[in-house]
């Protein structure tokens, strides 16, 4: 049950990120600048990453129409996820094309993958195409060999060093999405009940106080038990988790001021102890507060 809830939560976060303006802008710029496909998907997605993408490889588009080769691509997609861990990972498929995935983390949890690829790191060869054809025939795939050959030799070729630079750009962007994810979760606008909307407002206005679940329940005229169930169903989070995310988001904003001490920011946001703050901040962002501050100030050139 926990795994199912976690998967559903990851899909929700991935959807929020995919619909965000920053991703939509980056997506368009990335395609225009590199000519490569790009996607942001939840872990364990059962759909091919780039099928239907404007920059999809013609060869991969043909492969997606045959069941066995499609299954092989999905298996490789899953392998990239499993092997990526906390860093970018690239693998080559049975036809020699390279695909890559960069994890997007919320704390220690990977909520999405930025993916690109469908390229060759070397010029296509007759030998590699013949090997690919033999594999397809062995699988019983029904393909037009002539069309497949034309598509294969049209595959984009990118030198290894240049492609590694593309993956580094995606890795930097993944860090920005990781930081953005908590803000989107806190600000998520859904068709929720008026009571839950009022509860969100109350928490935002009182997060710096020692606010308890009973206080919020009373403010929205609900019993603590009923409020707890209603809030969890609407937001996918317990009251405690949501309050922690709101406070962390406040700390992140306060730390933009280089003259603000981390401890001051923590107490101003409502954390009652530094040990609690450090533990919660690391769980939600994946970084220690001091490391996060150094990274954001490097990004802004401070």
233 and 131 inside one domain: no
pLDDT tens profile 241-252? 999 999 998 998
| 81 and 139 both lie in a single domain | yes
Do 80 and 144 fall into the same domain? Answer: yes
pLDDT of amino acid 98? 94
Q: Choose the final residue of a domain: 184, 201, 218.
A: 184
If asked whether residues 208 and 77 sit together in one domain, one would say: no
Last residue within a domain, chosen from 162, 184, 206: 184
CA distance 109 to 115: 17
Domain boundary among 159, 184, 209: 184
Contact call for residues 43 and 68 (beta carbons, < 8 A) = no
Read off φ and ψ for residue 46, nearest 5 degrees. Answer: -100, 15
Task: Report the number of distinct structural domains present in the chain.
Answer: 2
Give the CATH number of the domain where residue 207 resides: 1.10.10.60
Do residues 109 and 220 both lie within one domain? Answer: no
Output the average pLDDT for the chain: 86
Note the pLDDT tens digit of each residue in 198-234: 998 999 999 999 999 999 999 999 999 999 999 988 8
On whether both 29 and 113 belong to a single domain, the answer is yes
User: How confident is the model over 163-197, as pLDDT tens digits?
Assistant: 999 999 999 999 888 878 777 777 765 556 888 88
Residue 222 is part of which domain span? Answer: 192-299
> For 85-116, how does the pLDDT look when each residue is reduced to its tens digit (9 = 90+)?
678 899 999 899 999 999 998 767 888 999 99
- For the whole model, what pTM was predicted? 0.68
Residues 114 and 242 in one domain: no
Same domain, 228 and 156: no
CA distance 216 to 211: 8
Ramachandran area for residue 177 (φ above 0: left; ψ -120 to 50: alpha; else beta): alpha
SS3 content of the chain, % helix, strand, coil (to 5): 60, 10, 30
């Amino acid at each position: 049950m926990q795994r199912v809830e976690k998967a559903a939560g990851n899909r929700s976060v991935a959807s929020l990120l995919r619909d965000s303006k920053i991703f939509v802008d980056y997506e368009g710029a990335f395609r225009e600048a590199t000519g490569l496909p790009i996607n942001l998907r939840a872990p364990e997605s059962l759909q091919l990453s780039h099928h239907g993408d404007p920059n999809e490889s013609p060869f991969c588009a043909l492969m997606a129409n045959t069941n066995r080769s499609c299954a092989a691509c999905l298996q490789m997609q899953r392998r990239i996820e499993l092997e990526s861990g906390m860093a970018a990972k690239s693998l080559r498929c049975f036809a020699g094309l390279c695909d890559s995935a960069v994890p997007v983390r919320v704390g220690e949890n990977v909520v999405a993958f930025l993916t690109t690829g469908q390229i060759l790191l070397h010029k296509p060869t007759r030998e590699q195409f013949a090997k690919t054809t033999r594999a397809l025939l062995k699988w019983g795939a029904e393909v037009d060999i002539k069309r497949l050959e034309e598509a294969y030799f049209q595959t984009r070729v990118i030198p290894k060093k240049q492609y590694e630079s593309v993956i580094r750009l995606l890795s930097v962007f993944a860090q920005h999405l990781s930081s953005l994810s908590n803000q989107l979760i806190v600000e998520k606008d859904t068709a929720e009940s008026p009571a839950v909307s009022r509860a969100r407002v109350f928490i935002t206005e009182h997060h710096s106080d020692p606010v308890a679940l009973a206080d919020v329940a009373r403010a929205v005229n609900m019993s603590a038990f009923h409020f707890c169930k209603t809030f969890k169903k609407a937001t996918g989070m317990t009251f405690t988790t949501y309050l922690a995310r709101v406070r962390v988001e406040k700390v992140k904003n306060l730390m933009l001021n280089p003259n603000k001490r981390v401890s001051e920011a923590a107490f101003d946001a409502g954390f009652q102890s530094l040990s609690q703050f450090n533990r919660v901040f690391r769980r939600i962002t994946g970084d220690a507060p001091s490391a996060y501050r150094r990274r954001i100030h490097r990004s802004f050139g401070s």
